[in-house]
Amino acid sequence: MRHNAYGIGALTYFRRVIEDTTDEMLDLLEKAMLETKADPGAVDRLRKVKDGTRFEDKVHIAAEVMPPHARPDGVNPFCDLYGIAEHRLAWPDRDDGIAERRPAWPDR
């Protein structure tokens, strides 16, 4: 969006849309994990984080528990979702001085 001249307000709105739909996406992930008989511990972690309020925590746990078969072309969509919401697609490569505050992401 920022590359198509929509302005900074569009980025803020886009992030809000992502954050507002996170619980719905987590519900879909949980349903898929239950249907494929995923690790019960992973399902429990996902359920616990859904009760929280921090977007970053929710997406981080979702990225960790995302089953390999649910990663199109080996890409973890929750890692990319966080990157898009934070306005950078490859943020682990950035040296912006805040890397130590970012969670360690599982392999994409």
In a domain, 27, yes or no: yes
pLDDT for position 72: 86
Confidence at residue 55, expressed as pLDDT on a 0 to 100 scale: 84
Q: Which helix (H) or strand (E) holds 14?
A: helix 8-35
Give the number of other CB atoms < 10 A from CB of residue 108.
15
Structure tokens at 91: 């943020």
Chunk the chain into consecutive blocks of 10 residues (it has 108) and report each block's average pLDDT, rounded to whole numbers.
Answer: 62 78 92 94 94 86 89 85 58 45 51
Full residue range of the structural domain in which residue 50 is found: 2-101
Residue 108 forms part of a structural domain: no
Residues in contact with 5: Cβ distance below 8 Å, sequence separation at least 6, in sequence order: none
Has residue 61 been placed in a domain?
A: yes
Q: What pLDDT is attached to residue 86?
A: 61
Domain count, the chain: 1
Asked if the structure places residue 93 within a domain, the reply is yes
Q: Half-sphere exposure (CA, 13 Å, Cβ side) for 6?
A: 10
Q: How far is CA 19 from CA 13, 34, 85, 94, 100, in A?
A: 10, 23, 8, 23, 23
